[in-house]
Amino acid sequence: MPAEIVFGIGASHSTLMNTHWAETRQKAEATRFRDALYEARDLLAAARPDTVVIVGSNHFRGFWLDLIPAFTIGVGECIASGESGTPKGPLPVDVPLARHIASALMDGGFDPAFSARLQIDHGQTHAVQYLLDGLDADIVPLVVNVFAPPLPTTARCADLGAALRAAVRSFPDDRRVAVIGSGGLSHRLPWPDWRDPHGDDEEFMVAAWLNGRGDWSRYDARRRQIIRAAPSIVNPGFDEEFLGLIETGGTDRMRACTTEDLQRTAGNGAQEIRTWLVMAAALGHVPGRRLAYEPVHDWLTGMAVAVLDPTAQKEPTA
């Protein structure tokens, strides 16, 4: 029996959930978001995936400005950087499926980078920590560049999700595959356009992004201070509109949204919705179900969880 995609999850992430839970003033909102992660985990477990493709972003702890691919697939070892209380160390990778996906994407006209020794950060390991807790499943890490312009377009990300769907379904061995899109929603990070930094903090950030390979932790304390000092800029109107597209299966309409549109309307952190678009397209843009949306200003982010279940769209047999 060939592989099939059986479940999808879109989920926001924030390391402040780990490091500053006690200081979080919006405890009710934070708790509802955390509970939604646990509910999504239970629904994922019920779908019985063998492998989970985790589509996530890079926060300059696994990639640096010396080399930034638009898309990267981990096809061998995968090492979690372990920052801010997220998992650290090697993660189990479904190497045969990962290598098949990389080859199938190449054959289908995509040119993803691949890594036989990939380091990932909380852009994916937050999902490992909360959504894969207790699950016996391998992963396929897929990293999307969302913070170092020029960025892949939203249309290209949607096309990647469709190509990922075809690649998984062409895998000849039996696999139940889930896809997680980790990131977003609206938020603004105190991060510069690396091509045009202004002031000491922005110059520091760009230096960390350029020179951090092999030594990212020495920049982390000041990075954290800069982030904690940033004002919260969340756009619930944008977030509600996007989640409405998730719920109605209309996410393909985001193809027309440009990088500049997202930046202006929902902040540079909203560029992470590309990971949700890849996931939704891999699920065939089936209508989803929102489990939570909370604008948690203490975490600087519109925090959301949604699930996409393709079996829920099938008519029951007589």
Model pLDDT for residues 207-256, shown as the tens digit of each residue? 999 998 888 888 988 988 998 888 889 999 999 999 999 999 999 999 99
Whether the CB-CB separation of 18 and 86 falls below 8 Å is answered with yes
Q: Is the pLDDT of residue 189 over 50?
A: yes
CA separation for the pair 42, 122 (Å, rounded): 21
**How does residue 316 score in pLDDT terms, banded at 50, 70 and 90?**
very low
**How does residue 260 score in pLDDT terms, banded at 50, 70 and 90?**
very high
**How does residue 72 score in pLDDT terms, banded at 50, 70 and 90?**
very high
Quote the Cα angle for 230-231-237, to 5°: 130
Give the model's pLDDT for residue 217: 85
Closest CA to 36 of 131, 177, 134: 131
Average pLDDT on 290-312 reads 96
pTM: predicted TM-score of the whole model, two decimal places: 0.95
Give the model's pLDDT for residue 228: 84
Q: Is the pLDDT of residue 318 over 50?
A: no
Average pLDDT on 115-142 reads 97
Quote the crossing angle between the two packed helices 154-169 and 95-107, to the nearest 10°.
Answer: 120
**How does residue 34 score in pLDDT terms, banded at 50, 70 and 90?**
very high
Q: For residue 163, give every residue at least 6 positions away whose Cβ sits within 8 Å of its Cβ, in sequence order, or none.
A: 104, 105, 108, 109, 110
CA separation for the pair 78, 264 (Å, rounded): 34
Closest CA to 241 of 225, 213, 261: 261
Catalogue all structural domains in the chain, each as residue range(s) with its CATH number: 4-189+230-313 (3.40.830.10)
